[in-house]
Structure 1
Amino acid sequence: MAQRIRFLFLFWLTAFRLFAQTAGDSIPTERRYPLKAFIVPAALAGVGTALLGHPTREPFTSTGHVSAADDYLRFGPYGLRVALQAAGVKPAIKLGDEIAVTVLSNVVMGGVTEGLKRTVQSTRPDGSNRRSFPSGHTAVAFTGAELLHQAYKHKSPWISIAGYAMATATGVLRVANEKHHWADVLTGAGIGIASVKITYAVYPVIKRKLKRHRKQPDK
């Protein structure tokens, strides 16, 4: 099972990478997403799937419920983006594009996460259900952190660090609360980051096709 999941994830990344090579200018300034941009999410998901079903995937300690902060902290990077916008700190892309990539990134992330949950049916550490792999909370948090990074990396690295710190804390709390294994949160993090990078790569294609469609005269 783990080998099949790794293959599907790598195929997912490769397919979008090949499609993105025809995308032209990506937002905001990069021409093409280099393959190295996917090394980190691929490594996270690869390690996570390698740990799936392995004894080391058990939580670091049996602590029960530690805190409900993870239910709210996963939205922290999104909240920080809103706060920066409200404070007048402009992102690297226009508001309309920012909203579009946010929606598309979460659609991609949600589809992959839900598909794996239904397919793998891994039992949570607390035994509550069989929707453990991958971690949806972590995927949401890292999607938000990567979106924050893409929008404000031109301003300060500390903005990106803050977003990823909140995302990492979300994943750690999911394990501490016995809701997820390490395999779940690592894979969720990889899915979240990859979903944003894929969206940034293919969004220009979607945008150009929509523009062409609008310019076509009515028959």
Structure 2
Amino acid sequence: MNFRKIVLLLLMPIWSSLFAQTMVKANFQDSIPDSSAAKPLKFNPKQLILPTALIGFGFIGINSDQIKDFNSEVSEEVVEHIDKQITIDDFTQYAPAAAVYALGALGVKGKNNLKDKSIILASSFLIMNITVLSLKSITKVERPDGTSNNSFPSGHTATAFMGAEFLYQEYKDVSLWYGVSGYVVAAATGAFRVYNDRHWVTDVAAGAGIGILSAKAGYWLFPTVNKLFASKSNPNRKSAFIPYYDGKQVGFGYVSSF
């Protein structure tokens, strides 16, 4: 099986969708609305069903003998047929979130402006990162390859699904295919974590749930978090989180103008 071809097929929808939408746009002006135009996501209990189901499955798998056997069977099957590891998941985990900024740079307007969506993404990333690192240190699940005891949950998968939900929320009103493409890339990231023998299936499931829930929480908390960056004494002050990637690490920088 040629996994490089599979990766190209999985990534194709996001680029083809981006190209199609961009060609339809006649106006490529980068118009950024005021912060008052921000559209936070309203909380709905139904939004918890999918992520909590995924997280619950992951937690059950830690102690369930049946699910442990399933994890082992998948891992053994992967190891038996693996040719060599493909580390593309180190990059695809960031692709959905990066697509939001790429689309904005191309003039495809999303739900929120640059400042607001950066605050939402930073909040989501912080929630996701704290949750993942805390669970890793508490559960101490051994990785399939036996290299360490921090397998649960999958951080790569959590990052990818957080970005996919972020992409979906920002562009679902423009085209549903943006969100679908983001989730395809996120799912591929999780699959490669299993393929590379770095995670169990339950690690990936829990990571996906945490990522989705973290992104939603970023939107739910936005009105409150946004107040931290508002200045009553200087209404012209503008603040924003700017994501960065230096080839080894990913993070956010805080920029403020007066």
Partner letter of residue 132 of structure 2?
T
Larger Rg: 2
Q: Could you tell me which of 125, 130, 134 is aligned with 1:115? A: 134
Q: Could you tell me which of 33, 36, 40 is aligned with 2:50? A: 40
Partner letter of residue 205 of structure 1?
T
Alignment of 1:1-219 (within 5 A): 28=39, 30=41, 32-53=42-63, 54-58=68-72, 60=74, 61-63=77-79, 64=82, 65-208=84-227, 211=230, 214=232
Retained in 1: the 8 A contact 2:119–2:226?
no
Greater per-residue helix proportion:
1
Aligned-pair CA distance for 1:66? 3.3
Partner letter of residue 156 of structure 2?
H
For this pair of structures, how many residues does the alignment match? 190
Retained in 2: the 8 A contact 1:152–1:160?
yes
CA distance in structure 1 between the partners assigned to 2:55 and 2:105 by the alignment: 34
Aligned-pair CA distance for 1:29? 5.6
Aligned in 2, Cα 1:80/1:42: closer, same or farther, shift over 3 Å? same
Moved more, 122-131 or 58-67: 58-67
Aligned in 2, Cα 1:26/1:183: closer, same or farther, shift over 3 Å? farther
State TM-score, norm by structure 1.
0.80
Gaps of 5+ in 1: 1-24
Aligned in 2, Cα 1:39/1:26: closer, same or farther, shift over 3 Å? farther
Identity %: 35
Residue aligned with 1:214, SS: coil
Aligned-pair CA distance for 1:205? 2.0
Retained in 2: the 8 A contact 1:59–1:176?
no
CA distance in structure 2 between the partners assigned to 1:41 and 1:27 by the alignment: 25
CA distance in structure 1 between the partners assigned to 2:73 and 2:109 by the alignment: 40
Aligned in 2, Cα 1:191/1:95: closer, same or farther, shift over 3 Å? same
Greater per-residue strand proportion:
2
Q: Which deviations, in whole Å up to 9, do the C-alpha atoms of 1:90-130 show, x marking residues without a partner? A: 11111110000111100000000000001111000000111
